[in-house]
Structure 1
Amino acid sequence: MKKLFYMTLCILVCACSGSKSATGSQPNKKLLKGTWEVTNIKFIGDKGLYKAFLFDLADSSCFKGGEWVFIPNNGSGKFSTNVNSSICEAYTQSIHWSFLESADGYTQFQFKYVGDGIKAKNVTSGYRATIQEISDNMMILKVPSEYEGNAFDVIMTFNKTSDSIEL
């Protein structure tokens, strides 16, 4: 009887967990529904100078404070950069996004640029980042990058600001 109680308790704790780890089953797309802000960007790699030009668009610093909107039922969304210095231009880009279970067991967030008559099915290139952590209110992505031939990772932390999904 005691074993049954502990087994049931363990199953309930695992089933009610609010966050997902980077490995295991794919997170539910509904977790991302809403508007999110990039609240932190940091670099992981050997000691040295890092400069990251993210998603072939802008310097990594331009993404801090930027807004991302995710609509889970059709995988559409958008993001905008933050004009926080003289090197950043205001930019908004429509995207089509999804999750991908990679061969190594990690869940990846992937997206491609769409809009202005460009349909997602006609776009053959895009971007992927490993989901390190995801919950109802927070997501951490690891974006592989390179500067002057040296590989490193950019860690982007997102916090949910609203359930609003206006494009």
Structure 2
Amino acid sequence: MKKFIYMTLAVLVLSCSGSKSTTAKQPSKKMLKGTWEVTNIKFVGDKGLYKAFLFDLADSSCFKGGEWIFIPNNGSGKFSTSANSSICDTYTNSIHWSFLETGDGYTQFQFKYVGDDVKAKNVKSGYSGTIQEISDNMMILKVPSEYEGNEFDVIMTFNKTSDNIKL
């Protein structure tokens, strides 16, 4: 009888222990609340020279040092590129963003450009990337790209700089 009780307790303990979930696959919109900086950009693909023009806006290098602001309750936000070299101009764009569960265990971060007179529902196309890793202070986003017919991924690392939101 004692063995039965111990085995039952062991099964209960094991079945009730919390399962570890990876935040890379189950992000919450609240995790992005605040101001973020793009701290690193790297390329993943076959060996070679890569050039990426991201989000139909600017060279990928112009995004390093850029600021992104996310408001989770309504999916609004904005981002600015950085004029960190002679090829970069500073751009600031209002966005509407969301998450999309893809069914493969990963989540897509997607956004559309919006403005004072442009509503997200009227914008037919947007941009997306796969969230590779996310926590309350860091996000790694994989953005597919192409240069001279060669496909590769741009890996953008975001670090939270503040919980404050100022659009």
Written as runs of structure 1 = structure 2, the 5 A alignment for 1:12-161 is 14=20, 20-22=23-25, 26-161=26-161
Specify every segment of 5 or more residues in structure 2 that has no aligned partner in the other structure, as ranges. 1-8
| Two-structure CA RMSD over aligned residues (Å) | 1.3
Instruction: Describe the superposition over 1:34-84 as per-residue Cα deviations: whole angstroms up to 9, x where unpaired.
Output: 000001100000000000000000000000010000000000000000110
Instruction: State the TM-score, normalizing by the size of structure 2.
Output: 0.91
Instruction: Describe the superposition over 1:88-124 as per-residue Cα deviations: whole angstroms up to 9, x where unpaired.
Output: 0011000000000124342100000001311111101
Instruction: State the TM-score, normalizing by the size of structure 1.
Output: 0.91
Give runs of ≥4 in structure 1 deviating > 4 Å.
none
Aligned residues: 159
Instruction: Describe the superposition over 1:113-165 as per-residue Cα deviations: whole angstroms up to 9, x where unpaired.
Output: 00131111110110010000111111000000000000000000000000011
CA distance in 1, matches of 2:45, 2:23: 25
Give the SS at the match of 1:84. coil
Larger Rg: 2
1:5 maps to 13
Specify every segment of 5 or more residues in structure 1 that has no aligned partner in the other structure, as ranges. none
Percent identity over the alignment is 79
